[in-house]
Structures are given as C-alpha cells and as structure tokens.
Chains A and B, each alone.
Chain A
Amino acid sequence: MTAGLQARLVVRRGEFVLDLSLEAAAGEVVALLGPNGAGKTTALRALAGLVPLAEGHVRLDGEPVHRLAVERRPVGVVFQDYLLFPHMTALDNVAFGPRCRGVPRRRARRRAAEWLRRVGLEGHEDRRPRELSGGQAQRVALARALAVEPRLLLLDEPLAALDAHTRSQIRSGLRRHLADFAGVAIVVTHDPLDAMALADRLVVVERGRLVQQGPPAEVARRPRSDYVARLVGVNLCRGRAEGRLIALHGSPVRLETDRPVQGEVFAAFAPSSVALCAERPEGGPHGRWRARVEAVERHGDRIRVELGGPLQASADVAPAAVAELGLVEGNEVWARVEAAEVRAYPV
C-alpha cells in the first residue's frame, strides 16, 4: 500500500482537455498553480468527484476512490467563496459533515466546537455566515472541511476572496493548519505568493497540462515557462549553449553564463541584474545589446523598464536613472547582463 495520492485526471470539455498526473505524499501540501482557465479548478473538482473523469484514476493510500460518489470520498473541500450554508450557524455548518457521516448529534456538535476553537473562532459558534467577516468565514470553511477528517483536503483559491491585510493573517494561520494536517492537501491558486508560502511543492498547470513541478524555491530559480517566469519575476529565454556561451533562439544576442552547459537550455536572469546605460558598455561583446524602451512603470521603490528590440526583457532601475538615461517609450539604451547573473539549465 502506498500512502498519499496518486492520480491521473483526464477531463474533456469541448475543446478543452485536462490531462494531469498528480502524486503527493501524506502530509505534503501541493499547490496547483496556473493562469485562469488552465484547468486547476477542474482538476480539483475531478479529485472531489464533482466532475467525472473521462479517463484516469484517483488512488488514496493505495485505494481507488474515483468510482466512489462524491459523498463517499474521504475528501474535504474548501470552496473559493466558502459556500457556508447561510441558514445554519457556524457550529451547525461545521457539524454538518460529521452528522452526514453518521456521528450522533451531540458528539458532532462537540467536535464542531473543537474545530472552531482550533481555527480561533471560539465564541462565534452561534453566528450566521452573514455575520462573519471574510477571514472568519474562510476559517469556518476550513474547519468544516477538516471536521470530516478527510484524507485528501482540497482548497480552491482559499485566500482569493480576502483583502490584502486579512489575507496575510489568514495565510499564516492556514499554513499552520496545513502543516498539522496528516493527509494530502492540494491548494489551487493563481497567486505565486500564496503558493510559495503554503506549499511544499508547486505543480504548474497551463492549458490543462503540467508544465513544471518542484519545490517552490527550485521553481522560482529555474522557471520553465513564460508564465512561471512572469510569476516569479525573472526574465526567461531559450537558447543553445556551448560552454559558457548561449546563443538565444530568435535573437542575435548571446548571453554568457559562468557555469559551462551544453545543448538546449533555459537562461534566466532577474530584472534587477539588467543594467542600463547610455554608452556601449565596456568589455566583451556578449550579454549586451541595444534595446528599445517599451514601457516604464513604478515597481515598489524601483522603476520597471520593459525592453524590446533584439531581446524582450524587463529591467529594474533606480528612479534617478529614468531622467539620467532618458528612459521614455521609444528611446534606445544599452542593456547589459553579467555572466554571474545568468542561470542556465537544460530544457
């Protein structure tokens, strides 16, 4: 018997095809990350049994569950807008699951009260959902999902409905509860910060397919698609490497890296490592090019400059540079990336 989740999810809906293999160990938190319409929520619904599989399987701790009806799966779901039953108190919402699974009323209510206490909502038992704040409703939804003691916990954009301040508070609370959770937890999100903060492993889905997976730090360091690169805020290009030199595809620019690699590679470099200057930079011919300024906007206390021309890239510069270099849309500047700043890794 293998503990944890093994699943292959194939769902067809018109033109859209989701085909995703997922594995997760018990106790692991996996974030399904991807742009809107990538099929993340569909994958989650398929795991819960709310969407039928065209092909594939879902095995939990070695036991196939994909033929079980929704209500028989050992699964707990936290829905995006929580879907707390509006006519029930917080306590009854949490007790609903245990009641449906045959726990006697009084014991179910005691268990529900215990779960509300664990998510920090002691004293809110008799509140109706409409009397709860967004953060409180999110925690009731989490308690409700956990109260059925699932082996697979599914969370669909659990923080998306919250304002920024509540969000960071709830995120740290959720992180703690997920760490305590003994089963497999799958979090669907399109927010890289939520994914990085909550998950042990990221699974990036685009257009129904897996494009990359790995520990958050690894995914951030070595993105393998434009979407992931944008998400983690690095410039990504592809090229052919020979030794320390990378000839980029579709661009005359050659980048240099300080560790030799061979063959098809991704080359990633941070916007902060792109230096802009008015004159042609000193030194060798590689890692520098004449770029056209396409957009200039504020990015925290730095200025983000979108560069066009031979190589599409972003550069972060100090505000003073805007005036010094005349960084206005349409102007041209020299751009430079040092070898030490370029990470190259095989495709």
Chain B
Amino acid sequence: MTRGRVPWPLVIPAALGLAFLVLPPAGLVLRAPWSTLGARLAEPQVLAALRLSLVTATLATGLCLLLGVPLAWALARGGFRGRNLVRALVTVPLVLPPVVGGVALLTVLGRNGIVGRWLEAAFGVTLPFSTAGVVLAEAFVAMPFLVISVEGALRGVDPRYEEAAATLGASRWTIFRRVTLPMVAPGVAAGAILCWARALGEFGATITFAGNFPGRTQTMPLAVYLALETDPQAAIVLSLVLLAVCTAILALLRDRWVSGP
C-alpha cells in the first residue's frame, strides 16, 4: 500500500479530531488581549498565583520522586505477592475524578480525618487549606504518572547489570544508587516532567482539599476559574501563561523522550 493514501472515512474524522484539539488553544491565542497583556501579567495576584503554582508543582514532583521511585522499584524488582494488586492501587488516582481524590484526602488528612486529627493533636499540624495541602493534593493526583513511567524504565533494565554489580562487591543500596538509578535516569526525568505538568494543572483535588485562598492555596488553574466569573479577559491571560508553560515542557520532552519512530 502506498504510504500517505488514507481512505476518506479515516481522513475526515482525523482532520476533525486534529481541529478539535488544535482550535481551542489557537482561540486562546487569538482572543488574548495582547495590548494589555504586559500590564495584566504584572499584576501581583497573577504573579502570586504563578509563583505558587510553580513552587507547589515542583515540591509535589519532589515528593513524588522521593516516594514514587522506591515504589516503582518495589513494583519492578520486588518479589512480593499481590504485586499486581499494588500496581492497580497505585493507578487508582489516575482514573479517580480529582474532586473525589480531594474528598478522600479530607477524610484522611482533614482536621477530623483519621490521620489529620492525630497530626493536629501530636504536632499541631493542619494540612487542609494550607500550601502544604496544595502540594499533597497535587502529589496525590500526579504520582501515578511518575510511578508508571519509572517502573516501565526499570523493567527495561537488564537485571544482570545488577548481578554484575553485586559480584563486584556492591550492596543492594549501592547497586540501586550507582547502577540502576543512572540507567533509568531518562525514564525518571520523563516521569518527573509528566508528573510536574499534571501537578501544575491540578484543579479538583486542590480546590476540594486546600481551598482557594489567594497567595496561599490559589494556584493558576484556580485563579483561572475564579477570574472567569469576574474578569474573562484575565482568565484568558492566565490560561495563556499555563499554555505557554506546558508547551515549553512539551518541547523540552519532545526532543529526548516523546519523539516517535
């Protein structure tokens, strides 16, 4: 079959699909109030939301790396029973509506939550409606992306490299640190970027668990939603900023990890 000759029952839906995906962001660019863009971007509320978004997404990614890489390692290398069940549990936040995730977080880490009550009594720590709560909500939603990506990378590493390291005298921890981890570094980086992008766009779990307090828990997506009700132009500007950030991430990823065959 000649390459490029696609039957028309496929061409039309394909073209529609492409338009459907490309037009809305394009509309965002077209309708942006370019003349006042500079002034609007410099508004302290926008800057505060942007800063909060970048900081919390980065912290959430850090938390995901800290917990998710060992979890991925256990899933890929651990010989324990019920591994498939654990893997299924890990992916739950992926399919769960984020709002439900937020409610779930409240029931556990909220002031009257199972763990939250104890945290407050023992340490005086309250997580809901705080910046830390934003980080937790984002990490909850974004971690499966990291775990799945890193586990895939770990499965791609020939375990005999780890055996070779063991015969050279390396302990399991040294093997992980100096052999396994460097070999899956591209997978970890790809996973971290996906995770970060997901955390940056997080809305449902964040607003449910952390609320919408400017400067403290109001991230960019929350600011966009709020602005839409009062000042649609501002919502477009904020959306444009998120679009720019995400496009930059995609460009960063494309060169190294997402390029097709």
Q: Report A's interface with B, CB cutoff 8 A.
A: 48-50, 69-73, 75-77, 79, 83, 85-88, 96-97, 100-101, 144-145, 148
Contact = CB atoms under 8 A, between A and B. Distances in A.
B164 A77 contact: yes
B132 interface: no
11 contacts: A48-B167, A50-B163, A50-B166, A70-B167, A83-B161, A83-B163, A87-B182, A87-B185, A96-B178, A100-B165, A145-B167
Given A85-B179, A87-B182, A87-B183, A96 B160 contact: no
Contact of A101 (B169, B178, B182): B169
Interface string B157-191: 01011011111111100100011001101000000
B167 A76 contact: yes
B169 A71 contact: yes
Contact of B167 (A75, A86, A87, A88): A75
B167 A85 contact: no
A6 B164 CA distance: 23
Given A71-B170, A101-B169, A83 B182 contact: no
A70 B178 contact: no
A71 B161 contact: no
B183 to A, nearest CB: 6
Interface of B: 158, 160-161, 163-171, 174, 178-179, 182-183, 185
Contact of B161 (A48, A73, A85, A144): A85
A79 to B, nearest CB: 6
A342 to B, nearest CB: 47
B167 to A, nearest CB: 4
Contacts of B171: 71, 100
Given A83-B164, A85-B164, A148-B169, 20 more contacts: A69-B166, A70-B163, A70-B167, A71-B167, A71-B169, A72-B169, A73-B167, A76-B167, A77-B167, A79-B164, A85-B182, A86-B183, A87-B183, A87-B185, A88-B182, A96-B170, A97-B168, A97-B169, A100-B171, A101-B169
Given A87-B182, A96-B178, A144 B168 contact: yes
Which residue, of A48, A49, A100, A101, has the highest number of chain B Cβ atoms within 10 A? A100
B127 to A, nearest CB: 39
Contact of B160 (A71, A75, A76, A83): A83
B231 to A, nearest CB: 51
Nearest to B169: A100
Contacts of A88: 182
Nearest to A154: B167
A141 to B, nearest CB: 9
Contacts of A87: 182-183, 185
A70 B167 CA distance: 6
